[in-house]
Amino acid sequence: MRLFAAIRPPAPVLAHLGAATTALRLGAGAPLRWVPVEQQHVTVAFFGELPDGAASDLQDPLARLVAGFAPLELRLRGAGEFAGRSLWVGVADGGTADGGAGGGGAATGAHARADDLARLLALMAAADDLPDAQVRERRRAHLSVARHSRRAADVDLGGLARVLSVYSGPAWVADSVELVSSRLGAGPGGGPLHEVIDTYPLRGYDA
């Protein structure tokens, strides 16, 4: 199974993103594989393919690391594509421009900003007591929206990313990080099956 750590935006945030991408879905046609809303998440660290039972070795180190961070004030903003393989939206400082979207309450200045998310990603990748995180593009906080299928050679992901680059979603406060397992081909329609193994609160102190 594959293991990764993730922040899951609340339902109103994902609904807003879904409404913004409706036209893209219709225009791109069938070849792109759009990520189901229940699997949409902000990747914090991707640990790769690990044997069954490896999750238990991750739980205590993850809990200690995550507990040192306060809840994060975020919003989905901008977009890009990774090497013609996947379309994503970025993650930015939530600011105080709107009332937030749940997940920990309305965004306020009392919460950590998006640069703390970048620091969390870097610490996840460098932690000695965690498996070597496969960083590559995953050092950039992002939420995958769609992936290139073998039948999608004529789909211009770069063009879709440019259209979506002006997107800015509602702010929310992320108050936890999840450890998630992914089993390729085990989900509906032959897609991946994601299961949350544990959830770690962002507490803002060293555990």
Which residue from 104, 139, 136, 106 is spatially nearest to 121, judged by alpha carbons?
A: 139
DSSP state, 187?
Answer: S
User: To which residue do tokens 């002006």 refer?
Assistant: 166
Active site residues: 41, 142
Sequence letter at residue 88? W
According to DSSP, the β-strands at 2-7 and 86-93 are unpaired
DSSP letter for 90, please. Answer: E
Measured between alpha carbons, how far is 136 from 121 in angstroms, rounded to an integer? Answer: 12
